[in-house]
Structure 1
Amino acid sequence: MRDLKHFTEKCKKHEFCHSHLNNSMKLNLFGRLSIAKQLDEGYRIGIRKHNEEVQKNRHILSRIMDCVKFCGAFELALRGHDESENSDNPGIFRGLVDVVASLDSALNEHLESATVFKGTSKTVQNELLDCMLSVVKEQIISEVQSSDFLSIQADETMDISTQTQLVLRYINGANVEERFFEFIPLQSATAESIAVALKERLAAILPGEQKSKLICQAYDGASVMRGAISGVQKRIQDDYPNAHYIHCYAHQLNLIMQQATSHIVKVKNFFSDLGGFAAFFSRSSKRTAVLDETVAHRLPTASNVRWNFRSRAVNTVFEHKDDLIECFGRIRASGSFDDMTSQEAGGHIRLLEDPDFNFFLQLFHRIMPHVDILYAKLQKRNIDSVHINTCIQQFQENIQKIRDSIDAMVVEQRSGSEQPRKRRAMKEDELGRIAAEVCDTILGHTRERFAFKDHLISATLLQSCQFECYVNVFPEVALATTLKAYPMLNGRKLKTELSLIYGTEEFRSCCGAVDLFQLFMENNLSEVFSETKTLLKIIITTPMTTAEAERCFSTLKRVKTFLRNTMTQERLNALAMLSMEKRLITNMIDFNQRVIEKFANLKERRAKFLYK
């Protein structure tokens, strides 16, 4: 072809010629059976019978998969003690298959007559679990690669199993997703070992050209994870420059309360005495019976890690103090307990009547509800730094109100005490000083640990309660810090968009970045505020806690019990995925079909699962 001027006309003419059509037909039939054989009646009947058998086998395999998914979703063991037909303990999976077979005649007939492929063996279970895990991972990776930004949460077990897990956080459509990816076995719990394992997984999730998508990494604050020189966060940031580090705010809240209650001896002794109530009853069922009869409420055990448990202990003792005094009095008066028990019960009565103990009980009864509120908000999946910043400010205001009311609390406690003042009881000014020190410690550590600096200062740009102030004085410093942390943003356009948002009164009612982002999506404002939408995605994708990782470890504890301690890593990951991502699996309409395709192509099988 040399006449390029008339190239289009000659191409159209060539499309209708005999040689082009003949060659196109041969290309489409290349590698297929001849037309004559395809038109043969016997061949068509064989194809139809084959496809009918495939349809039946797929239906049976789909029912067996549903049983596997059910057991995985509720962390139930798949294998039983004896799975023979006459066994009294065939296991949950086999029992569930029998129940489904009683409702499905095709499955019942297959189980009774199958000789080639029955589908209930351990090998088939493992292959199905592997295929399910692979399909879910492919779905998660597909969602991550179609999103604009990604954050990771990682945490490791404290026992000898040295398992690290990886949780991915990203925006899918208008929703915030936190997906469990897998448990990763480690050779050792060193920073190098953890970083290498995380980099291997990230390389599979984010190809080289998408490295800039990783904008955050969140850990629990252990030195091996947060080390600025050789910690995991530094090693990850060397390869992923935009991956800023977040110290889990829920862990920081625990550290704040530990610091406020451990360095003051009187307060430390108070919590030690408070834990003694639960310990007293936990050592004897006979004592517990008296507690249930008198108080009708169990005393929760205190925990240094979960401060909501200490809050329950404070509230329970405060609300049932008179009932507890009566309970200990009954134990002393019954005469059926030994001398040591009676002695301890008398000590607890004197403790509950002590004015100093009652003062600290009342103080922490006022403080703990605010800690609980902030703790509960930090456990949510759809939180963002803008919303948390507002919650932290509210928490500080509430603690400051308690700080200002300490003098009135001391006077009220002393005047309301019916007990004579003891020689060793603390003076009012000393009580006030200690209570003020507790509040000041909480406030000081909150300002220090929850300070929004560096990349987190971007949250202050979209804090709706500050919009009215920003109209008069634009936050130039916060904008400059944000642009330095996230160079992908267009600073000039972002400033213009933010100025318009600050001046529009309707935007001032938004509570958090998620609300503002959903408002943009619902009203087709994404193109108008394109840079603000990108900033919102960054803020929303940035996790403030590793609560999802803690929930995943709770699932690990239920899945890998001492009776199932020999399961392989692949089976463990598959069972954990079925439990933690059951909603994702349910929402995947073609999940069973995709798993069957993988199962059929895994190896050559005597049973037919592929259509012709």
Structure 2
Amino acid sequence: MHHLSEKVKKHESSKTHMDSCLRFAAFGRVNIATQLDESYRLAVRRHNDEVSKNQHILARLIDCVKFCGVFELALRGKDESEGSNNPGIFRGLVDLMASLDEAFEEHLKTATVFKGTSKTVQNELLESMLAVIRGHIMEEVKSAKFVAIQADETTDVTTQTQLVLVLRYIDSNHAVQERFFEFLPVMDATSESIASVLLDRLNGLFSEGDREKLIAQAYDRASVMRGERAGVQQKVHAHYKNAHYVHCYAHQLNLIMQQATSHVPAVRVFFSDLCGIATFFTRSPKRTSILDQIVERRLPRASSTRWNFNSRIVNTVHENLDDLMQCFESIRTSGSFDSTTVREASGFLRMLQDEDFQFFLQLFHHIMPHVDMLYQQLQKKDIDAVFIKHALQSFTSSVQVIRDSSQQQQEVATGTTRPRRALGEEEKQKLSREICNTILDQAKQRFSFSDHLVSATLLKAEMFEQHCHTFPVEALNATVRAYPMLNKAKLRTELSLIYENPEFRSCCGALALYQVLQRYNLQETFSETVALLNILITTPMTTAEAERCFSTLKRIKTFLRNAMGQERLNALAMLSMERELVRNMSDFNERVIDHFAALKERRAKFQYK
């Protein structure tokens, strides 16, 4: 300290100190070279003016491509040359944009270096958009505590097997997100091929240290996917130990109803006849015309894989039974239909008048609304194991009420004398009970929670009072075994406090409880409970989002565009399915421009100096 003053003066005279002062004075300001060199400053100004113009033009082109992607429209036409009558949607949008923007119109007329309407520029813009959106999703995945995947495969119009990958996680705003990531081409639909492609993509998403973040994988019912020894889920689980398999619950519901209807021959015949009514009217516009005149309502087509369609036709026929009878009677007596139509109409009329048919129609009219309600709940994005458990209890209780009512009807009918029919009253009530029992048994078997979903019972609000007196030790042990990252002792303490607090008993589902803890900033206090809630919410109950992706695939990759490249397909699908994400990214165009400019050396200037 005695020589400090001398050393300070010496340092102030050093070159290093003076250079640092110069850099500090110029920090955050215009480069000092522009202040010293007027010509350099003018050159930078001209460069930046040109960049502003080019970015304005490129932003308009991005808007045109984005519009086509959001509404799943083909960019290119049959002939994009000047004066063509079919230049395509993209060129049409460009011309419309030019008519509203003088600078853009002038650019299209005078541009010699970069016009921006070529198919190469379209592909590069789509590549940049895909990279920006996918980069944003990967940032969300990295910040998420846990991630789950949904995967399913289908064949597109070119008979190429496509595997869709959807990521599910909770974002930084505590909202549940199911993001489409990409379509992956697969050589064949075997478990080895699908697992190889899926693992290759997952290894690119998760580093070696982040593999425990993948806590669930959801597929459909195919044995290729769910096989316990050689299935895709087992091959993925071998590399990602926390990635527990969840069978799609919407597929489970379809299997339950298929079992209930195929188990009894009379019910199988009933649905076959019911589906024949819709098919009868779709085969002829003349038949459809008389249906519109008398019934004033079209009959929905049934589907063997989506029971909500079967529910629609049951309800439609039940509500319009008398009008349908009148319609078939009109076809028989009008004299304007051919003999085949008259013969089939006579058969359907006798079928609608049959008491056995009406009995099954009435029974399934009572059952199907509950199936519909459960199906709609399974299609939601923000569902969790706790919510599903409650929904399943409501469904089984409703079916049990229908079964009990049939038992009471049988007791009333016992001892009465009725004329002999194809099915007597006792047989009808027996069939009604058998159908309800099949649904209840199948629901109990197929919707039984596996070990890693037993944790949902820990957070059922209606069980909190019971758990307060008798703590569910077995469920806690199963939960910790499935998710070893949880601290068992701390989790038990936190759950005990939640069970004792009456304010938490009004929370319906894991998501509601999670939001309450976030709202009151209790995530640090109840850290293990929040982690468990995060796992339950992240775990998907259905592959509904994957199924919706296939609808977009079919719309984008039609027979007119079946030669589309995989990257272009992924970019268009991403723009369509994640349109809300694109809309919410305020700097989307700027980020696309930066990526587009960095793809390769360009003669046109897009970066400021």
Q: What TM-score results when the alignment is normalised by the length of structure 1?
A: 0.94
Task: Give the equivalent residue in structure 2 for 1:336.
Answer: 336
Q: Which stretch shows the higher mean deviation, 154-163 or 138-147?
A: 154-163
- The one-letter code sitting in structure 2 at the alignment partner of 1:171 is I
Q: 1:190 to 1:22 in 2, by over 3 A?
A: farther
- C-alpha distance in structure 2 between counterparts of 1:14 and 1:482, whole Å: 68
Assess, with a 3 A threshold, how the Cα gap between structure 1 residues 158 and 606 changes in structure 2: closer, same or farther. closer
Q: Secondary structure of 1:556's match?
A: helix
The 2-side partners of 1:242 and 1:607 are apart by 50
Offset of residue 319 of structure 1 = 0.2
Which amino acid in structure 1 is aligned with residue 99 of structure 2?
Answer: S
Structure 2 match to 1:557: 554
Deviations 1:5-57 (A, max 9, x none): 99x9999999756232256589999xxx9966762111100100000100110
Structure 2 partner of 1:21:
17
Which residue is equivalent to 1:533?
530
| Aligned position for 2:202 | 202
> Gapped runs of 5+ residues in structure 1?
none
- For 1:591 and 1:432, the matched residues in 2 are separated by 63
- Which residue is equivalent to 2:345? 345
Correspondent of 1:573 among 564, 567, 570 = 570
In the alignment, is residue 327 of structure 1 matched against residue 327 of structure 2? yes
The residue identity in structure 1 corresponding to 2:507 is: C
Aligned partners of 1:34, 1:55: CA distance in 2, in Å? 20
Distance in 1, matches of 2:6 and 2:539, equals 58
RMSD: 2.4
| Aligned twin of 1:156 | 153
In the alignment, the residues of structure 1 paired with residue 145 and residue 10 of structure 2 have an alpha-carbon distance, to the nearest angstrom, of: 45
How far is 1:412 from its partner?
9.5
> Cα 1:226–1:41, aligned 2, differ >3 Å: closer, same or farther?
same
C-alpha deviation, 1:276, in angstroms: 1.0
Provide the C-alpha distance between the structure 1 equivalents of 2:229 and 2:5, rounded to a whole number of angstroms: 68
How far did 1:90 drift? 2.1
Looking at structure 2, the residues matched to 534 and 231 of structure 1 have their Cα atoms a distance apart, in angstroms, of: 29
Deviations 1:335-362 (A, max 9, x none): 1111221111111111111111000000
**Paired position in structure 2 for 1:361:** 361
1:218 Cα offset (Å): 0.4
CA distance in 2, matches of 1:344, 1:11: 110
AA partner of residue 495 (structure 1) = R
Q: Does the CA contact (< 8 Å) of 1:490 and 1:531 recur in 2?
A: yes
Which residue of 67, 70, 87 maps to 1:90? 87
Partner of 1:436: 433
- Distance in 1, matches of 2:240 and 2:457, equals 25
Alignment partners' CA distance in 2, 1:515 and 1:134: 34
CA deviations over 1:92-138 (Å, ceiling 9, x no partner) = 21111122222211111111111111111100000000011011111
For residues 263-304 of structure 1, give each alpha carbon's deviation from its aligned partner in whole angstroms, at most 9, with x where no partner exists.
210000000110110111111111111000000011111111
1:380 match = 380
> Taking every aligned residue pair, what percent have the same amino acid on both sides?
60
| 1:405 aligned counterpart, secondary structure | helix
Using the alignment, how far apart are the partners of 2:6 and 2:169 within structure 1? 51
Equivalent position amino acid for 2:15 in 1? S
Q: Deviations over 1:525-575 (max 9, x none)?
A: 111111110000000000000000000000000000000001100000000
Equivalent residue of 1:299, what SS?
A: coil
Matches within 5 A, 1:85-484: 85-158=82-155, 160-173=159-172, 174-408=174-408, 424-484=421-481
**Secondary structure of the corresponding residue to residue 157 of structure 1:** strand
Report the Cα distance in structure 2 between the residues aligned to 1:202 and 1:366, rounded to whole angstroms. Answer: 45
User: Partner residue of 2:505?
Assistant: 508
Query: When the two structures are superposed, what TM-score results if normalisation uses the length of structure 2?
Result: 0.94
CA deviation vs aligned residue, 1:357-395 (integer Å, no higher than 9, x gap): 000000000000000000000001011110010000010
Identify if the C-alpha distance between structure 1 residues 275 and 486 changes in structure 2 by more than 3 Å, giving closer, same or farther. Answer: same
| Distance of 2:579 and 2:360 partners within structure 1 | 45
| Whole-angstrom distance in 2 between the partners of 1:412 and 1:91 | 71
The alpha carbon displacement at 1:83 in A equals 2.5
Structure 2 CA distance for partners of 1:288 and 1:108, relative to 1, 3 Å = same
SS in structure 2 at match of 1:575: helix
CA distance in 1 between partners of 2:459 and 2:195 (Å): 33
Q: 1:127 touches 1:599 (CA, 8 Å); kept in 2? A: yes
TM-aligned CA deviation for residue 588 of structure 1? 1.0
Q: Which residue identity is paired with 1:169?
A: R
Q: 2:322 and 2:179 mapped to 1: Cα distance?
A: 47
Partners of 1:17 and 1:449 in 2: CA distance: 83
Task: Write the distance in 2 (CA, Å) between the matches of 1:606 and 1:492.
Answer: 64
* Residue 46 of structure 1, aligned match among 38, 43, 46: 43
CA distance in 2, matches of 1:301, 1:529: 50
Q: Tell me which amino acid in the other structure corresponds to 2:161.
A: T
Name stretches of at least 5 consecutive residues in structure 2 with no aligned partner.
none
Q: Return the alpha-carbon distance in structure 2 between the equivalents of residues 215 and 12 of structure 1.
A: 60
AA aligned opposite 1:476: V
Runs (4+) of structure 1 exceeding 4 A deviation are 8-17, 22-29, 33-38, 408-415
Question: CA deviation digits over 1:209-253, x for unaligned, max 9?
Answer: 101100000000211111111111111111110000000000000
Q: 1:74 to 1:34 in 2, by over 3 A?
A: closer
Post-superposition CA distance 1:460-483 (Å, at most 9, x none) = 100001111111111110001001
Q: Distance in 2 between matches of 1:549 and 1:12?
A: 69
User: AA paired with 1:20?
Assistant: T
Indicate if the aligned counterparts of 1:483 and 1:491 stay in contact, CA closer than 8 A.
yes
Secondary structure of 2:525's match? coil
Give how far 1:587 is off.
1.0
Q: Structure 1's 338 and 13: CA in aligned 2 closer, same or farther, altered over 3 A?
A: farther
1:492 Cα offset (Å) = 0.8
Say if 2:604 is the partner of 1:607: yes
What is the rounded CA distance, in whole Å, between the counterparts of 2:368 and 2:170 in structure 1? 34
Report SS of the residue matched to 2:426. helix
- CA change 1:258–1:146 in 2 (3 A) is same
SS of the residue corresponding to residue 165 of structure 2 reads: strand
Deviations 1:480-504 (A, max 9, x none): 1001101111111111111111111
Structure-2 separation of matches of 1:199 and 1:12: 62
Going from structure 1 to structure 2, the CA distance change for 1:19 and 1:258 (only over 3 Å counts) comes to same
2:607 and 2:72 map into 1 onto residues whose CA distance is 31
The AA in structure 2 aligned to 1:18 is: S
SS of 1:151's equivalent in the other structure is strand
- Single out whichever of 97-106 and 161-170 deviates more from structure 2: 97-106
Superposed CA offset, 1:161-211 (max 9, x none): 111010000000210000000000011211111111111111121111101
Q: Aligned with 2:494: secondary structure?
A: helix
- Residue 163 of structure 2 aligns to a residue whose secondary structure is strand
Contact 2:407 2:433 in 1 (8 A): no
The number of equivalent residue pairs is 599
